[in-house]
Amino acid sequence: MSIPSRVHLIDVGPRDGLQNEKTPVPAAVKIELVHRLQQAGLKEIEVTSYVSPKWVPQMADNHEVMEGVARQAGVAYSVLTPNLKGYEAAVLDKPDEIVVFGSASEAFSQKNINCSIAESIERFAPVVEAALAAGIAVRGAMSCTVGCPYEGDIAPQQVAYLAGLMKGIGVQRVDVADTIGVGTPRKVQRAIEATLQHFGIDAISGHFHDTYGQALSNTLAALELGVWNYQASVAGLGGCPYAKGATGNVATEDVVFMLHGMGIETGIDLDKLVDAGAYISDYLGRKPNSRVAVAVLNKRAG
């Protein structure tokens, strides 16, 4: 399959990127980050999650953030909902899409949510049913599709099993996520090929972490299979608590720079994207975790 001429990017920085930050980030800062991302041309933004503040205190302001965002026409705003209670809270804020999640690793599922993969999907079934009935789109995040901190390498058959379960409860599209960033190009391609047993290429997105510096290589490998949807995090926000030294999500700036260099359209203004990353990085008191962003900012400084 030929490499796509246009790529759709979902920025997960406001949710996946900030959720592990120890320093509380005010709702106003999160709202401004969303505004800067959409001004940069992002057409889909993962804004927040509706989880217990006991477990993820950073997302306790979900309602305030969703209510405060000045929505733009043509931009989709997604949220993560771990259960029916979370969905019932989320639906009041009118998200365009909800995200449910499952792991391709049985050990990861058991250690993190205390149930099997099949049981986790059963929990999500009523959430998906309710969302679809309300006209809300549903995406399924498939974690640990190439490697697990407990099991090691994940076989493609395990990915196909999870994808089949997701399809069975009505999930409309899925993310193939290298959660701990241990994937390499051929392993990522095998995980995507396994997912293709249940979902078409238009319903698959790549979600790569850069723990071992492989995220851009893995993105290219997915492009070669025709995948044209990807998730990334502005300024490289986010980390993985399960891998020592993990640098977390691939930076949106780095992905955009690579794609534009390949002649692939994204609809994103790289300079404005760098500004968005610099904004949140300045608040957090550090440089953006993006080589492209740092290079652009250094060039501006002269």
- Catalytic residues, which ones? 240
- C-alpha dihedral (178, 189, 274, 267), degrees to nearest 10: -130
Amino acid at position 70, single letter: A
Exposed/middle/buried for residue 31 (C-beta within 10 Å: 0-12, 13-18, 19+): buried
CA dist., res. 220 & res. 222, Å (int): 5
Cβ–Cβ < 8 Å for 210, 249: yes
Q: Which two tokens stand for residue 288?
A: 């953006």
- Nearest to residue 44, comparing CAs of 81, 99, 93? 99
Closest to 107 measured CA to CA, from 99, 115, 118: 115
